[in-house]
Amino acid sequence: MNFETIAAASPEAVWGALAAHVRPARVREVPLEQACGAVLAQDARAALAYPPFDRATVDGYAVRSSDFNGRTARLRCIGLIRAGIANDAQLAPGTCVQINTGAPLPAGADAVVMVERSRTIAPDQVELDDAPKSGQHVERQASHRRPGDLLVRAGARIGPGAIAALAAGGASVVTIFARPQVALLSTGDELVASGESLGPAQIHDSNAAALERLVREQGGEPVVFGRCSDDEPALRASLELGLANDLLFVVGGMSKGTHDLVPGILSQLGVRWLIRGLNLKPGKPTCIGRAPGGCWVLGLPGNPVSCAVGFYLFGRCLLDGLQGLGAHEPPHLAGTLMGEMPKTDERPMYHPAEWSVGARGEVLVTPGAWRGSGDPFGLVHANALVQRPARAAGAGRGETVRFIPLDRPQ
């Protein structure tokens, strides 16, 4: 691996390095019905013409435009063509055929007159009050896509609109970037699974369930390792297994305490560090590295707010890069502060907040109650992280602040 450890890293320096180094993990061919949500790895091209035949785009009468001479025409109606039914009708001069939206145009016809402009004057006679140009209300075969034309470009996330385009163009199998496999490991002697009863000095592992959900939401495949005690051999065994994935999120034990063993063991397992600690509040113990086998490692502090901030700032960026979206800096929006923010020290800060849209379309940002990085309850309504630069004075109501939205369009 060709990166050096960044000293006293700022989030911006980390994003720059991740954009330069994180590449998609693997590609797979999948049937279209399994592709939704994945990122396309190769341009998808039309297997068929679209539409596959000349067809009517409205309900009405298929006609020969030359029968009109710029005014109303009386034509003999020779039948009905329905959608989905092949026909070999042939329109002679002075005739028309009733046709439904999506039905194939008969030979000889070159336009369609809407039913709203028709009047039946005898069982087989219609008067059409129109002066259609050739091609009116007709979609020609291959007018949207010819076989081999581009349907969806590589690098696009396949949403419902792309699925519709791929289906219409006859692409039954597509090449996607595989969902990254993300090992999730919580570390700490004090942790108990949520729902289980607590012994003395124990707390529930509140980070694991949130991370599992976040990983899935952001396109990864969680591989849940559960909890591991702060015990060297046990940690080594779990971490080694975790490194067999595309990405390892390891929570807790990243700091400087006597039993913060994780970075040391990962170094022994060959992990090269992009960052070991960060100039950020919360999130100072955050570490990012890469194992010899290629697995990326994100070491997150155990405090719930620090863990969430680390995920949104860097975990999401790693997941994006591994699934072919590019490991980019998360977009920051600007909004009007609806409360007070404290001054900052030498560390820049990301603070949980709620953003919303006001009555006049303005973006409003309300900071959450700040009870420190160990407060799991401040995240309940958070959908934003407000960014405050290092050594900034406190910010007051009405000031413009930058923030990262936590929900983002896919």
Judged by CB, which is closer to ligand AMP: 203, or 357?
A: 203
Q: How far is the CB of 232 from Mg ion (least distance, A)?
A: 14
Contact map string, positions 275 to 314, toward ligand AMP, x by CB under 6 A: --------------------------xxxx----------
Local structure of 279: helix, strand or coil: coil
Query: Which string of DSSP letters, residue by residue, matches 125-153?
Result: EEEE---PPTTTTEE-TTSSB-TT-EEE-
Q: Which amino acid does the sequence have at 59?
A: D
For ligand AMP, the closer of residues 141 and 229 by Cβ is 229
Of 134, 125, 53, nearest in space to 95 by CA: 125
Dist CA 4 CA 120 (whole Å): 81
Q: Per-residue string for binding with ligand AMP, 356-375, x by CB under 6 A? A: ------------------x-
The entry of ligand AMP, Mg ion, none near residue 262 (CB within 5 to 8 angstroms by kind) is: none
Minimum gap (Å) between residue 271 Cβ and ligand AMP:
18
- For the beta carbon of residue 134, count every other beta carbon within 10 angstroms: 11
The Cα–Cα gap between 174 and 30 comes to 6
C-beta of 197: minimal distance to ligand AMP in Å? Answer: 16
Give min distance, CB of 286 to ligand AMP, in A. 10
378 closest CA partner among 309, 301, 312, 286: 309
> Which does residue 266 touch among Mg ion, ligand AMP, none (CB within 5 to 8 A, set by kind)?
none
301: partner contacted, choices Mg ion, ligand AMP, none (Cβ within 5-8 A by kind): ligand AMP
* Contact between residue 162 and residue 152 where contact means Cβ atoms under 8 Å apart: yes
Choose between 98 and 303: whose C-beta lies nearer to ligand AMP.
303
188 in contact with Mg ion (CB under 5 A) = yes
Cα distances (angstroms) measured from residue 375 to each of 83, 185, 235, 304, 368: 61, 20, 26, 7, 11
User: Looking at beta carbons only, is 98 or 187 nearer to ligand AMP?
Assistant: 187
Judged by CB under 6 A, which of 169, 188, 242, 277 binds ligand AMP? 188
For ligand AMP, which is the closer residue by CB, 65 or 286? Answer: 286
Q: How far apart are CA 221 and CA 133, in angstroms?
A: 55
d(CA 323, CA 299): 20
CA-nearest of 185, 119, 175, 134 to 151 is 175
Q: One symbol per residue from 142 to 181: x for binding ligand AMP (CB under 6 A), - otherwise; what is it?
A: ----------------------------------------
Tokens linked to 316: 């999401």
Instruction: State the Cα–Cα distance between residues 90 and 102, nearest whole angstrom.
Output: 18
Nearest distance from C-beta of residue 188 to Mg ion, angstroms: 4
Among 24, 220, 222, 252, binds Mg ion (CB under 5 A): 252
Residue with tokens 């990243």: 254
Using CB under 6 A, which residues numbered 227 to 266 contact ligand AMP? 251-255, 257, 260
Q: Which element (helix H / strand E) includes 17?
A: helix 11-21
Candidate residues 43, 127, 190, 212; the one interacting with ligand AMP per rule CB under 6 A: 190
CA distance 387 to 401: 7
Q: Can you tell me the distance from the alpha carbon of 247 to that of 288, in angstroms, rounded to the nearest whole number?
A: 11
Interacting stretch for Mg ion, rule CB under 5 A, among 235-243, 249-257, 262-270, 347-355?
A: 249-257
In the complex with ligand AMP, the residue whose CB is nearer, 60 or 188, is: 188
The residue within the footprint of Mg ion, chosen from 106, 169, 253, 376 (CB under 5 A), is 253
Q: Of 203, 237, 244, 393, which lies in the binding site for ligand AMP, with binding defined by CB under 6 A?
A: 203
Taking CB positions, which residue lies at the least distance from ligand AMP?
Answer: 302
Mention every residue, 6+ apart, whose C-beta is less than 8 A from residue 341: 351, 367, 386, 388, 394, 395, 401
Residues forming contacts to ligand AMP in the complex (CB under 6 A) are 186, 188, 190-191, 203, 205-208, 251-255, 257, 260, 301-304, 374
Which residues would be at the binding site for Mg ion (CB under 5 A)? Answer: 188, 252-253
